Structure 1
């Protein structure tokens, strides 16, 4: 068992709702997909368990681009909600998909408003740095990626739902579940059938789910950019207190709450970004109760996180500013110090950074835009 195998379920770009009949990707939820491109789903070696205050293991499962009302109307999600806590005021932090993934790992999406390939400098800290500082293991399980550490921009895989259709093309770094199983190229009902196939049996498997396992099932963003960016999120697993199963928590949470909850649970340091913004990073309530953390009373109606392309940052070619140091004076939910990456200039903060520059108008791109490669 890993102290923290984090399942990052990532895919990308535009939502195309297709009514398709569910086709299992493999012979069973514990069997590798028959249309794998190559060996994948690697993880770190087993290490000594680091106990947390509310859970010892957290598993994050992300699906794609679905409005809250669409997801909550699904039979599969309603059945799962009866086993855990429904968060009905949990919001993504921006649009489109990729910046939400970056935000959930790094506490900031750095102005990103597209799904292109970017190389973020290694001294820009992420939750991995916080975990490794406390010897907490982590892992990423990626359906249909060609191999561990794949850094190409895209690759193709056979379409097992419709063999006469073109190959699927996957974008970005982590793609699990693939783009039909996460609802991106299908529908929320298709994703629900995949959850019945893959997740429901695992919730009954003590090797996957014990009394110290928390499973966070969420969507990366909603589909309607004109509406508030709240998405259906469920807290599952036997770490959820018995008396809270089948209940609804209307506390305002965002993807930054994933970071603050992990930080509070293990008494970690912080990234000094969105994870320390108390308005945006409330800790999941039962974890806040277990750790003594006090959440902030916020209404999701007053926090609109559906804007895209309007936030200056190093990944925004229209409002470009360089990467700046985090707020080293910030205190996160775990109470530890802000993590500083090696060689980071802590004096170069947002207060002293130059004003945003429109690189697009100068026919330039941001320095971190990666090449579009394929394999």
Structure 2
């Protein structure tokens, strides 16, 4: 199946090319289709044939990115422990070769948000940067960005920890070229999804992101908090990107990444991707220049080409 976000007469050209059936993002093992049949491999773009109806300006209305913690793909997709992740994968694109950048957590968040690790090699706090980042790009382009962190005590809080909140998982707080208002507690995440910013990053707390708690906890949080948005996005020209910061250091840093939303057909995609690929894709969706290492990446296959 082929979908396209197309903007004409000086507008940006985007395309979403899909397979006829499959799963999105990273998974080890077979998830199966809703009917229990095997999922086919994604077809090359030149073989795709059909299209979706694009939004008026060819740009997604909203993109929500949620980052979970410290689990390899084999611990999630097809493991029998994460039915919400499996269900989401059946609805969208599963990238079976999605990799984190490094260990530990913090450099991966910075890579995803700013196109580089900003020379950070550990989870130390605090850090401050003045460099360009995704949120600043969006604001400069007349778009909007909000980072929603669970257990953040209040908007603009700059402390390193508060209960189960940690700043190292909220990279937007480190950049002094952003207004404090881009940082919000997760309780501010709107129930009316039309009130979402152009791009939202969501950081669950240390338990709900699976850092300190089992897979089942994070899976339940995903089902309770974002399944509604995932359903809504499929009919409102919007996207949900679910990924992980890193694996549990027991493997090759292969992580689960899932993309679902309007125009994203079920597909299993074997292209190698990483956090920089995800950043490059979001930038491409909104016509922004690629930051740092993201400039050396292409967009996610099947999303905002």
Q: Does 1:220 align with 2:242?
A: no
State the alpha-carbon separation in 1 of the partners of residues 299 and 287 from structure 2.
13
CA drift at 1:126: 0.6
CA drift at 1:62: 0.6
Q: Does structure 1 retain, via aligned residues, the 8 Å contact 2:60–2:239?
A: yes
State the alpha-carbon separation in 2 of the partners of residues 60 and 239 from structure 1.
17
Structure 1: gaps spanning 5 or more residues? 1-49, 157-167, 292-375
* Correspondent of 1:67 among 72, 76, 82: 72
Q: Does structure 1 retain, via aligned residues, the 8 Å contact 2:243–2:256?
A: yes
Change (3 A) 1:69 1:52: farther
Partner of 2:97: 89
Q: Does structure 2 retain, via aligned residues, the 8 Å contact 1:183–1:191?
A: yes
State the alpha-carbon separation in 2 of the partners of residues 229 and 112 from structure 1.
18
* Correspondent of 2:166 among 149, 170, 173: 170
Q: Does 1:235 align with 2:259?
A: yes
Q: Does structure 2 retain, via aligned residues, the 8 Å contact 1:51–1:266?
A: no
Which of the pair is proportionally richer in strand?
2
Task: Tell me the TM-score normalized by structure 2.
Answer: 0.66
Q: RMSD between aligned alpha carbons? A: 2.2
State the alpha-carbon separation in 2 of the partners of residues 209 and 266 from structure 1.
18
Aligned residues: 217
RCO higher in structure (CA 8 A, sep ≥6):
2
State the alpha-carbon separation in 2 of the partners of residues 265 and 52 from structure 1.
11
Q: Does structure 2 retain, via aligned residues, the 8 Å contact 1:252–1:282?
A: no
CA drift at 1:189: 1.9
Q: Does structure 2 retain, via aligned residues, the 8 Å contact 1:130–1:268?
A: yes
Partner of 1:162: none
**Correspondence 1:95-244 to 2 at 5 A:** 95-122=103-130, 124-156=131-163, 168=164, 170-172=166-168, 174=170, 176-204=203-231, 206=232, 210-224=235-249, 227-240=251-264, 244=265
Change (3 A) 1:183 1:173: closer
CA drift at 1:120: 2.8
Partner of 2:298: 282
CA drift at 1:171: 4.4
State the alpha-carbon separation in 2 of the partners of residues 52 and 61 from structure 1.
25
Partner of 1:318: none
Q: Does structure 2 retain, via aligned residues, the 8 Å contact 1:54–1:239?
A: no
Structure 2: gaps spanning 5 or more residues? 1-54, 171-201
State the alpha-carbon separation in 2 of the partners of residues 266 and 233 from structure 1.
20
State the alpha-carbon separation in 2 of the partners of residues 146 and 209 from structure 1.
32
Q: Does 1:254 align with 2:274?
A: yes
State the alpha-carbon separation in 2 of the partners of residues 130 and 170 from structure 1.
24
Change (3 A) 1:231 1:52: farther
Please say which of residues 127-136 and 171-180 is displaced more in the overlay.
171-180
Change (3 A) 1:84 1:108: same
